Amino acid sequence: MINQTMSPKDWLMLLLLSFLWGGSFFFIAVAVSELPPLTIVTMRVGLASATLWIILLVAGYEVPKSLKLWRSFFVLGLLNNAIPFSLIVWGQTHISSGLASIINATTPLFTVLIAGALLTDERMTPAKITGVVVGLLGVMVLIGPASLSDAGTNTAQFAIMAAAASYGFGTVYGRRFKTMGISPFSTVVGQVTAATIILLPLALLIEQPYQLANPSLKVWLAVLSLAIFSTALAYILFFRILATSGATNVVLVTFLVPVTASLLGWLVLNEKLHAEYFIGMLFIGLGLTAIDGRLWGKAKKLTERH
């Protein structure tokens, strides 16, 4: 059964996950200074896959062998890695890491809509509908009329939104692995392995990374951190929370991620924090608290008492 209210342990894992994924936007911002998008994404999932396979073999986990299971892994790898990772990295060639992470915080809005339509135990409620509407208002504030004059910036923002929608589908699709009796670790291994197989020929064909100059040490460190911490470790945590607390709760992490990403971008990369970022994040945050329901429920009880 899915716990609609997360336990303290789940919240701790969610906070750790927010730091790992918040750092990913920072690492991407470093990597795109010297490497093209598909190459970064392929290295990210490829190195993460290698790390996870070493852990799987050393720890003695069972290797997934079912053809049906691997077919599901390829769908998940496409929805949760190949598509969104590529869109986000390409988007960050045009917009800041902080803005990209804030737009990515719309993932729960898409997940609520998709889960409400496809999952019987996560149906839409008036509070969730309100949350989606308020959150989308935040996105409208972020995109705004000013960015419409810049085609590259505007397209990049919509690319990040498309990535968020893909994550929503991937999160809902990922619920099936619990009913199949597949552990979170095996799911992560299968997902990133499948994504690597999808992306490797595309990167070799389109960007020909073997012809690129050797990246600097800081870029190598950024890519390694992106693969090991922000992908391998992060997805292990993600699927553990998903299995116990459901698709709607686990994607609340995307509201915490912009805090880490924006601070790193501001402190290390000298990115500017514009007023509309805070206003947009406030609307998205209000939307997510409505989806979660707990804060609004407590506020209602306090109001009724007085």
Residue 221 — very low, low, confident or very high, per pLDDT cuts 50/70/90?
A: very high
CA distance 227 to 224: 5
Mean pLDDT, residues 209-213 taken together: 90
With residue 31 as reference, give the H or E element that holds it: helix 8-31
pLDDT tens digit string along 92-132? Answer: 999 888 888 888 878 877 887 888 777 766 666 777 777 77
Under a CB-based contact definition with an 8 Å cutoff, are residues 19 and 260 in contact? yes
With both helix axes pointing from N to C terminus, report the angle between 234-250 and 107-118 in degrees, rounded to the nearest 10.
70
Q: Which of 194, 291, 301 is nearest to 248 (CA)?
A: 291
pLDDT tens digit string along 7-29? Answer: 778 888 888 988 898 889 999 99
**Which pTM value belongs to this model?**
0.81
- Tokens 């997360």, located at residue: 6
Hey, what are 266's tokens?
């501001």
pLDDT at residue 175 is higher than 60:
yes
